[in-house]
Structures are given as C-alpha cells and as structure tokens.
Homo-oligomer: A and B are copies of this chain.
C-alpha cells in the first residue's frame, strides 16, 4: 500500500492511499480520515460511498464530514466508485463503466474482469483498512450519496450484522424500476432480473429489512428525484415497520451543497448507533 498524501485535518489525518486490488485486478485509491482519538485506541468507522462520476476525492474535499467525525471520534473511509485504468473497460456515458461501478460484482463482459465493487467494498477494502489503521472492525456504519446511497443501503441489508446503522443522502432507492439502475444492472449482471434483486434497496427492504436504525435525506428540489424513487423505499419501510427516519428537505437539490448541509446529522446519527 502506497501513501499518496496525508494532511492534518481537524486534529486528525486525512490520508489518500493506493493499493493493488485483487478483486478488481487493478490499482485502487481510497481516502481515509483518522480522527485525533485514533492515536489512543482503535476507533469506529463510517463508510462513505460516493455517487456517479465521483472518485475517492469528492466527499473527502466537499462534504465537510471530517469536522463532525473528529468531534465524535469516528474514522471515515472514502472508496473510489469503480475500478480504473487503461486496461479497464469503460463507456462514454457518465453513468456506466469507470466512475459508475454501482456497487455490484459484474458477471457480464466487458465488465466482469474488473468491476467487482461489491466484493471490494464488502470484503477486500475492510480487510486492508482494519489491518493498516487504528480502526475497530466491530463498530462499523455506512452512508453514501446518490449511487453511493444505493450502495450503502444494499450493503447494509446484504451483509446482516456488519453495520450498526445505515444512512443515505439522495439515494437511488429502486434501481430495478429506474433508468438509473436498469441500464447498469442489465449491463453488469445480465438480463435476468432475479440477479438484480440483491441490489435494489426497496426490494431488500420489502424482503429482509435492516436490524438497526436508518436515516435518509432527499431534497424536494432534487433534479434527479424521479430517478431516485424515494417513494418506493418509503412504501417498503412503512410496510415492514422498519425503524427509520426518511426526510424530504425543502428546496435542496442533488449537489454537494445538500450533502454538506446535512452531513453533521448523519455523522451524529451513526456516532450514536456506534456508541462513539
């Protein structure tokens, strides 16, 4: 593992690291924030999954989460959103290929050789960060924005017992019924819709739910809200009687100004669930 950069930040360290990924078969870069408390003992960790077109860097520089993570004593991990590199398949569209891994393990060509973002975020990267940094692997939570909100919700429900809490900002809630989903799930997983079900938060909510608290925020002025389908998740949450807080925030759009405006709430929510 190679250190790309380390910057002092709110009394802790914002690092960027690069490593060879076995599951993605390419070099991967991630951001990791360690709060000042990590000098004393391993700290709980909040995973932040980013949206379409993002790298490890967007949330790290624009969401402002470090201020609150430092206060609560939480580490933050910012994975990239896809495999990258010259030998990695890509697509001209912004919502497919590099920058758009959708947090699935692709089974179809040309994507299958590298696009294993589920395994990367669920297995490989957790092993790397807990082996190399002062992070308590028994206290994990997960959040994300847009495609990353989809990733957070599906990973939280798909790996029972791993995460104490899950939250999302402007998540893609029901990709099986949206143009943000059908195209990607079809491309990465093939035409059999049964294979998609493990990657649709509303379906997972209806079928299994989540053993812990959930917080979701979506802006009423989100320019992509018809693609996000928060109503599908809301319906499933209510039908299941799932512990959850689903908020529609007046006037907010899909941008990082929205994320920054509510990230303090999300960090505090996870800190409480993690006993931080």
Contact = CB atoms under 8 A, between A and B. Distances in A.
State how many copies of this chain the complex holds. 2
Contacts of A188: none
Contact of A66 (B10, B253, B255, B260): B260
Contact of A10 (B8, B255, B256, B261): B261
A88 interface: no
B260 A67 contact: yes
Interface string A183-219: 0000000000000000000000000000000000001
A226 to B, nearest CB: 19
A136 B62 CA distance: 29
Given A67-B264, A264-B67, A257 B62 contact: no
A103 interface: no
Q: How large is the interface on A (under 10, 10 to 19, 20 to 34, 35 or more residues)?
A: 20 to 34
B7 A255 contact: yes
A9 interface: yes
A258 B7 contact: yes
B261 A64 contact: no
A221 to B, nearest CB: 7
